[in-house]
């Protein structure tokens, strides 16, 4: 093989390896949110998180029948509840603020508890028949019942 082709092949190989390393580094395992069956570990959904690593899950509350949305941060393998948004007080939603939390109202009139910073050891939801749990990341949304059977307990990691 002539010398100029050898150096071209080496340069091409180095460029290819560099691209592989670059793209592999773009999506670390902590950048992927995984939803799987709580009992069997069957993976139902894997989606990349945005740079902010924030996702939310909204659903219709089973008691007061209004929409609730809970916002989470996934960082270093730990899921933290950072805020909660809901329309009505009632059973199953926060009625008191903890230290450092504060209440605001958004443009749609929803109450928002901010600065919750509550570490969640296991984030488990039961895929609802009426609740219609929806995962939100950025401007994209996924209905959990489209991926997991209704009444299945799913865990997010």
Q: List the chain domain ranges.
A: 29-156
- Per-residue model confidence (pLDDT) at position 89: 66
Give the pLDDT mean for 91-96. 68
Q: What is the pLDDT of residue 23?
A: 47
Report pTM: 0.77
Farthest-apart Cα atoms in the chain, separation: 78
pLDDT of residue 15: 47
Mean pLDDT across the chain:
84
Please give the residue that has the higher pLDDT: either 88 or 36: 36
Are 83 and 151 a contacting pair, CB within 8 Å? Answer: no
| Residue scoring higher pLDDT (1 or 59) | 59
| Residue 26: pLDDT band with limits 50, 70, 90 | very low
**Percent of the chain's residues with pLDDT above 70:** 76
Residue corresponding to tokens 């939310």: 56
- CA 56 → CA 1, 35, 126, 133, distances in Å? 57, 13, 15, 10
Contact status, residue 73 vs residue 48, Cβ threshold 8 Å: no
Averaged pLDDT for residues 15-19 = 46
How sure is the predictor about 4, in pLDDT bands with cuts at 50, 70 and 90?
low
| Residue linked to tokens 């995984």 | 34
Q: Report yes or no: 91 and 63 within 8 Å, Cβ to Cβ.
A: yes
Contact 68, 86 (CB under 8 A): yes
The whole-number pLDDT of residue 129 equals: 78
| pLDDT for position 6 | 52
**What band does 96 get if pLDDT is binned at 50, 70 and 90?**
confident
């Amino acid at each position: 093989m002539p010398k100029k082709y050898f150096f071209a092949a080496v340069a091409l190989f180095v460029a290819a390896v560099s691209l592989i390393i670059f793209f592999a580094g773009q999506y670390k395992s902590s950048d992927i949110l995984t939803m799987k069956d709580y009992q069997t570990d069957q993976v139902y959904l894997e989606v990349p998180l945005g740079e902010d690593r924030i996702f939310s899950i909204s659903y219709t509350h089973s008691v007061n029948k209004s929409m609730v949305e809970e916002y989470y941060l996934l960082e270093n393998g730990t899921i933290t509840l950072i805020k909660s948004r809901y329309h009505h007080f009632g059973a199953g939603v926060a009625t008191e603020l903890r230290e450092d939390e504060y209440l605001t109202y958004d443009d749609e009139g929803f109450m928002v508890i901010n600065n919750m910073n509550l570490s969640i050891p296991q984030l488990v939801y039961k895929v609802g028949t009426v609740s219609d749990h929806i995962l939100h990341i950025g401007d994209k949304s996924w209905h959990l019942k489209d991926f997991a059977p209704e009444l299945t307990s799913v865990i997010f990691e």
